[in-house]
Structure formats: C-alpha cells, structure tokens
Structure 1
Amino acid sequence: MTTDAPLVDLAALGDDFTRDPFPVYAALRARGPVHHVRLPEGHTAWLVVGHEAGRAALADPALSKDWRNISPDLGIFRISSGVSMLSTDPPVHSRLRKLIAGEFTMRRVERLAPRVRQITDDLLDAMVPRGAADLVDAFSFPLPIAVICELLGVPFLARESFRDWSNTALSSPDQAVREEAAGRLTEYLVGMLAQKREQPGDDLMSGLIHAADTEGHDRLTREELIGMAWLLLVAGHETTVNLISSGVLALLTHPDQLALLRADPGLIDDAVEEMLRYDGPVETPTYRFTTEPYEVGGTTVPGGGQLVLVAMSDANRDPARFPDPDRFDIRRDTRGHLAFGHGIHFCLGAPLARLEARIAIRSLLERCPDLALDAHPAALPWRGGLLIRGPERLPLRW
C-alpha cells in the first residue's frame, strides 16, 4: 500500500477535457482505481474511477460529507451555504432527509405529471413557431425551474438572476467569482425565505419553514433551512436542465437511436436511462472527506480531511460493467448506473428528474419531427468544473 502517487493535472487539459473527459478517465482507470489529481478549479483531490470502486466509495461511511472534516490545507471554498443533506452524515442527514422524502416518492411525483405536461406544452407553444432556438434557454432551463418553484411554492423567484448565480457558483473556474455568486445566491435565498414566512401557503417550503419556526423534534435550524433551500432549488433544477440538454444532444448525434425512439416512443423510459448512463448531468458528486486512511485498490488515501471525488461519469462508462460503454444504445440494459449516486446520499429527486425528462424529450420530438442541431457538436460550449456536466447552449432548428 502506498500514498506516494504522482499528481495528474486535469486543470492543464483545458477545454478538450471539459468537452470530452471520458478518454482521460479511461486512461486513468487502466492504471488503477484512484488517482491524486489537480482539478480544473485549482485544488487537489483523490479521484476514484471505475464502477466497482466508485460504487463502493459512494456508499462508504468512512468518507464523510461533513465540511467540518475537511483539511484546511486544501484551501477549498464551500459553494453552498447552510446545512443540508449533502453536507451532513447520519444522524443529522437521516433527520433532514426524512423531512422531505415523502414529497419525492414515485407515487407523489407521478401526480405532478399533468402539470409537467402543461408547462412543457406551454414552452413548446412559444418555441416551436420560431423554427430555431437555444434549447437550454427556451426549454431545458425553464421547465425544471418552473416545476421546482411550483412544488416549493416560490413562484416569485427571480429566475434569470437565480440561474446566473447558480451556474456561476457551480461552474466558474474562478474561485473569487464563484464565491461572489454563491454569496449573492445565499443572500437572495434568505430574503426569499423571509418573504415566504410572511406569505405561507400549502407547499413544501412553507412546511419546512413551519418546521423551522415551531418547537418539536424535527425543528430546522436557520442554517438547515438555508441549506435545504439551496439544495432543493439548485439541485432541483440543475441536474434536470442538463439531463434534457445532454439527452437531446445524444439523440441528435446518434441518428440511428433517434430513429428507434421515433419509431417506438414507448422506448422513452429506456432512452432516458441510457442518457443518464452515457452522459449524465453530474460528473462527480459533491465532496467527501477522509476521516481516516482510506484504501482503494492498493493505494492508501491519507486521512485528515483529504477530498475524495467519484468519477460517476467514468463509472457509467466502465466496460467491466457496461459492454461497449462508449456506444449510445437506448435498448441497453442500464441497470446499475450511478448517475444519481448510490447509498444513503442517492439523489432524492431522481423520480422527478426522470419524469420531467421523459415528458420533455418525448413532447419535443413529437412537436419537432425534423429536429436537428444548428451548430457543429465540437463547437458547443460546455459547463466548466467537475460537478455539473452539460452544454451551456444547444442551438437547434426544425
């Protein structure tokens, strides 16, 4: 066992790595399951590649999500404010997750389907007559942000400002810029919560504020309420935006698979799962920290708060788990993909993301039978950083 690992500088790979990280991950996987890397954001981490090692790391309680366990030597800026399920370990994590888990069951989410279809139809009614549009601006962003705002009961959200702050905080390569955007987003959320407290309704956010403002076992602290708002609003739309955009891009760059789906729209569920596997919206999950030395495949990652990231994008392209993994195949058996994580931090919003993607992509294809890219795939700009993956813009014509 060794901790002497050469530093792999991912930051030096530039836009080529941002656009297509899969060959780099595959090369690292061929050398071993964990590597000491410099991230595009500038700090160092231990990157776990491959399906087996990644799945094990995602579920290992030895890796903490609590930011109090981070080594100060890493100099990492924490993006989100407050305390949430993504920044806590049990038992705090268990308590917070229990408060909202009932809102995201498959049964509860399916009740939202008519409203999701209505929002989808309204967006397409506005977009389709134009004959061309940036799918991200016209469709992929406004759909999930509208759905999550209705679910939470915050129709007054300043959506364009919120989108800018969220994108910048999660994806900017400049730490100072990320910090400023995160600060403005937090300030906005504090004001939003105050407004919601004055104008409560029969919705999820009002329920959470009530839990924060009344005595009881499940009382939320102020920091927990801010963290929950961060999580539900940011994670509640960012992942679905990029699932829709990357999924449509995958179909348009694989015309045989697009033809299959058009011929049999009943394949939409399988197609969405393959989109999640092939190029999912979360490249690596939120941070985990070592609380003790952590061994992966003969390499020991030091304890003391080292940052560990799981390359979920690579786990989903591991040939040991998925034959011919770089082929986009909507009839593939995708069981076991890690696009939503694994273990106790498995994405609570997975049923909602799947529902929105199924409805959105199927409706788009029905309304636009001659849908096509309006730019060369290599010219598309991609989100920076290793957290959220997806095209910043997706010009289409029909």
Structure 2
Amino acid sequence: MVESVTSPLVIDTSGEDIQGEIVRIREQGRATLVELPGGVQAWSITDAALLEKLLVDSRVSKDAGQHWPAFVAGQIPPDWPLYLWVAAPNMFTAYGADHRRLRKLVAPAFTARRTEAMRGQVERITNDLLDALAATPAGEIVDLRERFAYPLPIQVISELMGVPESLGPGLRTCVDGIFDTTLTPEQSQANYMEMYRILGELVALRREQPGDDMTSLLISHRDEDEDTQLTEEELVGTLLLVISAGHETTVNLLDQAITALLTRPEVLARLRDGSVKWPELVEETLRFESPVAHLPLRFAVTDIEIDGIRIAQGEAILAGYAGAGRDPRRHGATADEFDPTRDNQSHMAFGYGAHHCLGAPLARLEALVSLPALFERFPAMTLAAPVSELGTVPSFISNGHQHLPVRLGE
C-alpha cells in the first residue's frame, strides 16, 4: 500500500459528482493521493501533460503480479471490488513483451478495414432500434440509455465476438457489475465468478460450434498456434476485456452526446446547418465527459521523478482521463465549457500510449452512424427531466447517466 504523510482524498465510489470530485483532486496537485475501496491508496493524475508522460514511460506497468507489492504479498483479496481490473490476465493488465503478444492477437479484429466493413452492420442495428423507438405511443417517455445507447454497442460487440443471444442478459449484468464500484466484497466476488462461468460457457460453445467471429479466432490461436503461447486464462481474460470495454465506453459516449445536444439547442442547430460537424461533436463529447473517468491501475516499476513529481517504486497510479480532458493547463479558461468548435479537442478518453484502446475507431464509427440517424428520425426530441434528475451510474470509473428519459416528439 502507498504510505504518505499526506491525507488521501477518499474517492466517492457512487460517482455522483465525478467532475466536482476531479476539481477537488486537481486543487491538491498534479498528482494527488487518493483512497480507493478497501483502503487502497493511489496517485490520481489529472494533469494532461503529466499523465501523457507517465503513460508512455517504460517505468510504469499495468502488471500487478509483477509490480504491485501489495498484490504480490496477497494483501489484495479476490473479493476486492476492483480485483478484475488488476488481476484478469489480458492485454489490459500485461506489461512489455506480454502486452505486445496479447495485443497482436486482438488487433486484426479492429483494423481500419475491418472497422469500416462493420458500417453496414452498425447501420442495420441502428435502424432496427430507431424503428422500435418509432413505435412508441405519442407522448410516452422513453429511456434512451436503455432503448438506444446501451443496446447498440452491446449488439455490435456481441456479433463481433460471436456471443449468442442466450448469454447476452447475463453478460450485461456482469459487465455492469464490473463497473459498479459500490458493490460489497461479497457481491463483487459473486459477480466475478458468474462472469467467468458465462465466458467459460461461451468458449465451450465456440469450440463446439466455431464461426466467423473473434472468439472462435482466439480459440484457434489457443488450440492450434503454439507460437502465440495463449493460455486458457488469457483466452478468457481477453474475452472479458473486449466484451466489457467494447461496449461500456460507447454506451456512455452516446449517452453524453445525446444529453449535450438536448441541453444545448444552439449546438444542435449548428449541426443541422452544417457549421458544426458530427466528428467535432463526438470529439468534444469525449473531451468534455470522458466515458471512463478514472482508470485503475498502473504501478511504478521503479522510483519515478517527472516534472517535480515523485512516485515511489510499487506505488499505484490512477489515470484521471476525465480530469485530463478538462485540464485548464491544456484547454485554458474554457476547459469546462462544451464547445465543438474549439481549436484544441485533445483528450485521452481512449487512453494513451501502448495501451490506447484498439476499439476506438469502432466506437467513433458507432457514434457517427447512430447519432445523426437518431436526431434525423426524431427532430423534435426533448429531455423529459432536468439533467439534475438523470442520476449517474454507480461508479467512479464509468461516466454515464442512470437514465436518459426523453419525449421523441411528433
């Protein structure tokens, strides 16, 4: 565990005020000691320039098994609410050569060519969801997070991974649990075990009935290609990563973009007259409300000193992507203003450096197909509740609303 004379700021696991908490973290410094569930301490980095340097530094690792003394010593139990974030064996938690090996196996599914080839699939799923929404009785309130923002990316990633419909509801519940940082240790461990049970069922199914999907491809690497050295644990861990990360961030991107437009009619009007482009809207949403607010965890392989900041060997690092997106050192006095026409829309919503998200092009494609289609189909759509009543998902990691109630209009 991190030891310091500085009193750590205790992270609110409910995520009720993510941006307000980031302001409080930033006020204490570019690197601020925070306390996570279970009393685990970490350095929260919300300064964009410092975070960029750390994320490309070879002295920073994501491998808890090698570089987190508390984990190595058995002080981090399997029922710790963030256990899967540091313990699942996949490219997310790998370091060095292991990370490059595992990433190489997944990368072919997310090339520019493969991503563009999925455009028709995204359009089909989008149109099906819009047709279902159009059948809503006039005046009835619908939850767009539940009826649009959530099902679109989960259907896309399920088809990519070869997940049968029968496993979909269970996987959704488990993925929600992974991001829910308010779970008790008992609930967290139960969720962890259920997730692995479902993924084991998926692997068994695709071994027996292989298809043209990524799960079948990974199984073939595991079973046939000795050069990849993909273990069974890494196979399941990789499925866990791709399925979870493959939809949660996009759900929040769509949710936050829709909310931004319904609360800023002047921006929507500029999209319609062409003075603001949809890609600008998407990038500003990613900057303004990063779908992942804080990403656990990284570890100092050795003592690190950067820009007057010292992180000791073995100490944990929490990447504050939402903080970096609104860093006034990077974005100036207007950092907290939503402006799709700003000159600098830089963000780290999809990570940075070696661990930059492979699925970022697919998430952007889903947003750029679905958002214009939604607002074209329902031009009179309005929010059915004040923003203050939308609630937040119970997480300091995932940055989205609990509900997104709207009236679709005539």
Scaled by the length of structure 1, what TM-score is found?
0.93
Identity %: 35
Q: Does the aligned pair in 2 maintain the 1:313–1:339 contact within 8 Å?
A: yes
Q: Indicate whether 1:90 and 2:96 are aligned.
A: yes
Q: Which runs of 5+ in 1 are unaligned?
A: none
Aligned to 2:84: 79
Distance (whole Å) between structure 2 residues aligned to residue 265 and residue 355 of structure 1: 21
Residue 333 (str. 1) matches residue 343 (str. 2): yes
Tell me if structure 1 keeps the 8 A contact 2:296–2:317.
no
1:78 maps to amino acid:
Y
Decide which moves more: 278-287 or 328-337: 328-337
Residue 192 of structure 2 aligns with an amino acid whose one-letter code is A
Q: Decide which moves more: 256-265 or 112-121.
A: 256-265
Aligned amino acid, residue 261 of structure 1: L
Amino acid in structure 1 at the alignment position of 2:7? P
Asked if residue 217 in structure 1 is aligned to residue 214 in structure 2, the reply is: no
Question: Could you tell me which of 276, 280, 290 is aligned with 2:290?
Answer: 280
Assess if the C-alpha contact under 8 Å between 2:158 and 2:243 holds in 1. Answer: yes
Q: 1:261-340 alignment to 2 at 5 Å?
A: 261-264=271-274, 267-304=277-314, 306-323=315-332, 324-340=334-350
Normalising to structure 2: TM-score of the pair? 0.90
Provide the residue aligned with 1:7 in structure 2. Answer: 8
Q: Where does residue 44 of structure 1 map in the other structure?
A: 41
For the residues of structure 1 that align with 2:370 and 2:166, how far apart are their CA atoms?
22
In the alignment, the residues of structure 1 paired with residue 124 and residue 338 of structure 2 have an alpha-carbon distance, to the nearest angstrom, of 30
- Contact 1:265 1:362 (8 Å CA) reproduced: no
1:202 aligns with 2:227: no
Runs of 4 or more above 6 Å deviation: none
Counterparts of residues 224-243 of structure 1 (less than 5 Å): 224-243=234-253
Distance change >3 Å, CA 58–CA 384, structure 1 → 2: farther
1:113 corresponds in structure 2 to 119
Assess, with a 3 A threshold, how the Cα gap between structure 1 residues 49 and 82 changes in structure 2: closer, same or farther.
closer
Which stretch has the larger CA shift, 260-269 or 143-152? Answer: 260-269
Given the superposition, is the C-alpha separation of residues 207 and 320 from structure 1 closer, same or farther in structure 2, using an over 3 Å criterion? same
Question: By how many angstroms is 1:145 displaced?
Answer: 1.0
Q: Distance in 1 between matches of 2:107 and 2:134?
A: 36
Counterpart of 2:143, as a letter, is D
Q: Does 1:63 align with 2:50?
A: no
Deviation, structure 1 residue 95 = 0.8
- Aligned partner of 2:369 in structure 1 is 359
SS, match of residue 305 in structure 2: strand
- Whole-angstrom CA distance in 1 between matches of 2:354 and 2:375: 35
Q: Which residue type is aligned with residue 33 of structure 1?
A: R
| Matched residue, 2:30 | 33
Offset of residue 296 of structure 1: 4.8
Q: Shift of the alpha carbon at 1:265?
A: 8.5
| Structure-2 residue corresponding to 1:22 | 19
CA RMSD of aligned residues (A): 2.1
- CA shift, 1:291, in A, is 2.2
Alpha-carbon separation, structure 2, partners of 1:295 and 1:212:
40
Amino acid at match of 2:234: E
Q: Cα distance, 1:266 vs. partner?
A: 6.8
Question: 2: distance between equivalents of 1:172 and 1:285?
Answer: 12
Q: Distance in 2 between matches of 1:226 and 1:176?
A: 22
Tell me: CA distance 1:235–1:265, structure 2 relative to 1, closer, same or farther (3 Å): farther
Residues 51 and 315, structure 1, Cα contact 8 Å, conserved in 2:
yes
* Maintained 8 Å contact 2:167/2:198: no
Count, aligned residues: 392
Per-residue CA deviation, residues 12-56 of structure 1 (Å, 9 max, x unaligned), is xx76xx233223323432442111112366532211121111111
**Gapped regions of structure 2 (runs ≥ 5):** none
Cα–Cα, structure 1 residues 313 and 41, in superposed 2: closer, same or farther, change >3 Å? Answer: farther
**1-side partners of 2:316 and 2:292: how far apart?**
17
